[in-house]
Structure 1
Amino acid sequence: MKPAEYSQMNPAALAPKASWFNRRCLEAVLKHLPHLDRGQLDLVLPDGRQLKFGQAQADEPRASVHLKSYRPLRRLMRGGLMGWAESYMEGEWDSPDLTSLIRWAVRNEKAMTHFMDGHPLIRMLNRLFHLSRNNSRRGSRRNIAYHYDLGNEFYRLWLDSTMTYSSALFEEHQSLQDAQLNKYRRICEMLKLKPGQDVLEIGCGWGGFAEVAATEFGAKVHGITLSQEQLDFARQRIEKAGLNAQCSFSLTDYRDLNQQYDHIVSIEMFEAVGESHWAGYFDKVKDCLKPGGEAVLQVISIAEERFEGYRRGADFIQRYIFPGGMLPSPSVMKNCITERGLSLQEELLFGRDYARTLEIWQRDFNERWPEIRSLGFDERFRRMWNYYLSYCAGGFYEDTIDVGLYRIKPA
């Protein structure tokens, strides 16, 4: 429908049984929706009435939202996009394709500023929560445990057999497992890794990179993590593979490292460092490299034009998925690298591969949900993770976030 068609519409005609406040919320939404014309939104009201906004072209997203009540609109008015996400977690609205809805919202966000932030008080409370999860030594252990100590069995059910929880690097027609192995090999090749060289992995996950680097490239790898669950799994994995002579792992904060290595690898750990600790992180990378050594970091970044607004707020990911997390923009990260006496030698960006990775994770997560549920996770958790995976996939598709491999060395 066109804006003019809504200018005289009485919300009471659309929602005759709704309360006065619910009608006011509906009126506020209807006032703005006709101006969101990048793609198409099909809105189903609680009584089943359907409204269509925009007309999707071939390359534009078509999204659909089914309101089960008017509570989502109240949450949107009060809590902005955070409130909207929380409403989904509570089962108050549904969408057959969350990723398309996220993409539609990104394309129309300039016309959605009225809904973005919500009430200043709620926005401030979300920001204060984020600031309270600072990645000090104690805070880092707490933040990592919140996400990664959900249990190895939980992650095993929906990750591929390499137990890799970071973006794959796909070649055409590759499976997720092969694409993850491809990513590990590419990192080793970027470092020109040789047999017998010592590699430090900051944030070793479940040991997937260490196994490839040791088995295929003959490296000696020491991996550090703050997750007890990951540590236990990685040690068992390496023992089973007969690689104890080449690989070791420890529960260590990167700030406590004091040895030097031929090379350093860190795969999607930088996002958990926190902006106030970025300089110290790069100082530690520099200090832990032997002369002539290099490091490869896999890092998720946020688009340049979004960084300043992002760093002043707190988004859904920071509130519910990765407490204390913070993405750099490409230029901010590169400036930090340079300021700490390091030099960027090579970069490889592959954001679309992350969107593909996330879609496979989401498919497998939902296919294995009955088994995941049996571990003690509830419906709210399922919806939270679906929103998280779609939120990220939509961002990678729409280039609001990206991921890259960055090879650096002391200047």
Structure 2
Amino acid sequence: MTNKNFVTFREADVELFIHNPIKFCIRMLMDPKLGLGESFMAGEWDARPLPKDLLTLLIRARNESAKASKGKRGFKMTAVLLGKHTQLVRGVAWFFNYLQHKIRENTLLGSQKNIREHYDLGNDMFELFLDRSMTYSCGVFEDVSNVALENEKLLYEAQMRKYDRIIELLQIKPTDHVLEIGCGWGGLSLRAVKKFGCKWTGLTLSREQLAYAQDLVEKENLSDKITLKYCDYRLESNIYDKVVAVEMIEAVGHEYLPLFFQTINDRLKRNGIACIQGITCPDSYYDKYRRSNDFIKKHIFPGGHMPSLSAIAESLPASLEEVSCESIGPSYAVTLDFWDRAWLEREHEIRKLGYSKRFHRKWQFYFELCSALFEYRHIDDVQMSFKRF
């Protein structure tokens, strides 16, 4: 269906409503990777049942197209259709967006700014879509094919299951002193210390998270066991029995991966154990990914970067050895679906906190894009353990 200002497409039970065809097409011609999300933010299109359904369709089509054309040579039809002038404009747009990402590198000062832009948006906002443990990372579900999203208790249970698996990988003992790089709102530290009575030091670059977590530790009367501080991991100098980082590696950056793992190595006692949970990019297109900008890097996580498993392996110092690696990616799709459901249901409350409609749509696109990518195994989330020798 089409008229002067509105276009509708239907494919595989997904309906696309383009409210502003001209602006939508211009954005897509300039930079499809950024244009689709930015157009949604601006309210120029919608999809039913959800944007995620359209995104899943597009990801599947792209993957199938890539498989079909693998190994084939010849000219690209898109180059002919777009013409040289449009290609030039697109190239300039790509270069500008790439530079925008490069200037957000995770230096000591850059990391503080990048973390502040996302994690200091307000604890009140995060409370509206996270579970009661305020855990902002992938949970672990027992059966991802059978999860009732209306039962929010299941998300909390999945987060506790994730924490328990990390604690098991770390082999925590009551006598241990654990370093957590990127302690979030304190959920993992509380879980581990309550179970084992170990000592815990958590680092964060978010003032909002630090204030919330410190208040929680005091309320639980665990200040003698848990120390939380505003500190970059590169500036920590103490030695620990165990080191853990849950979805913090995405804030490190490709250039700093060797330093990150060297720091973990240096902070560990001999025979100490480290555990990393992180989002990973497939090796097959890692090189292209790390040299480009995209919606998540530009609008959600400034300085964000997903390492590949090979990039991690190449960054390990000789005395730090990988022990195990397990994928939990499918559980992230479900985790994101829980967050997205709460985000949509509580839009009125979020708007009352002062966040705009554009901001709300931006985060909806973030949740649903990432859910589609995990569901289709386009990206992954892994739990890895290491031992220092």
Normalising by structure 2, we get a TM-score of 0.88
What is the RMSD computed on CA atoms of the aligned residues? 1.9
Query: Aligned partners of 1:223 and 1:359: how far apart in 2?
Result: 28
Shift of 1:340: 5.0
Q: Secondary structure at the match of 1:290?
A: strand
Which aligned pairs between 1:11-410 and structure 2 lie closer than 5 A? 17=4, 46-47=5-6, 50-52=8-10, 56=12, 62-70=13-21, 71-96=23-48, 97-109=50-62, 111=65, 114=78, 119-172=90-143, 175-337=154-316, 339-410=317-388
Shift of 1:161: 0.4
> Which position in structure 2 is the counterpart of 1:7?
none
Shift of 1:217: 1.8
Q: Secondary structure at the match of 1:222?
A: strand
The answer (yes or no) to whether the contact 1:152–1:230 under 8 Å persists in 2 is: yes
The answer (yes or no) to whether the contact 2:135–2:187 under 8 Å persists in 1 is: yes
Give the AA of the match of 1:199: V
Distance 1:389 1:16, change over 3 A: closer
Distance 1:88 1:16, change over 3 A: closer
Give the AA of the match of 1:64: E
Query: Aligned partners of 2:138 and 2:371: how far apart in 1?
Result: 11
Distance 1:253 1:77, change over 3 A: same
Which fold has the larger relative contact order, with Cα–Cα distance below 8 Å and residues 6 or more apart in sequence?
2
Question: Which consecutive residues of structure 2, in runs of 5 or more, have no partner in the other structure?
Answer: 67-75, 148-152
Residue correspondences, number: 360
The answer (yes or no) to whether the contact 1:206–1:233 under 8 Å persists in 2 is: yes
Q: Secondary structure at the match of 2:203?
A: strand
Tell me which structure has the larger Cα radius of gyration: 1
Q: Deviations over 1:124-183 (max 9, x none)?
A: 111000000010010000000000000111111111000000000122467111111111
Query: Aligned partners of 2:34 and 2:381: how far apart in 1?
Result: 24
Question: Alignment identity in percent?
Answer: 37
Query: Aligned partners of 1:343 and 1:124: how far apart in 2?
Result: 38
Distance 1:216 1:191, change over 3 A: same
Query: Aligned partners of 1:51 and 1:149: how far apart in 2?
Result: 39
Shift of 1:248: 0.7
Question: Which consecutive residues of structure 1, in runs of 5 or more, have no partner in the other structure?
Answer: 1-13, 18-45, 57-61
The answer (yes or no) to whether the contact 1:303–1:399 under 8 Å persists in 2 is: no
Query: Aligned partners of 1:335 and 1:276: how far apart in 2?
Result: 12
The answer (yes or no) to whether the contact 2:9–2:15 under 8 Å persists in 1 is: no
Normalising by structure 1, we get a TM-score of 0.84
Between 314-323 and 339-348, report the one with greater CA deviation: 339-348
Shift of 1:335: 2.4
Query: Aligned partners of 1:353 and 1:267: how far apart in 2?
Result: 15
Query: Aligned partners of 2:278 and 2:3: how far apart in 1?
Result: 51
Q: Deviations over 1:353-390 (max 9, x none)?
A: 00000000000111122111111100000100000001
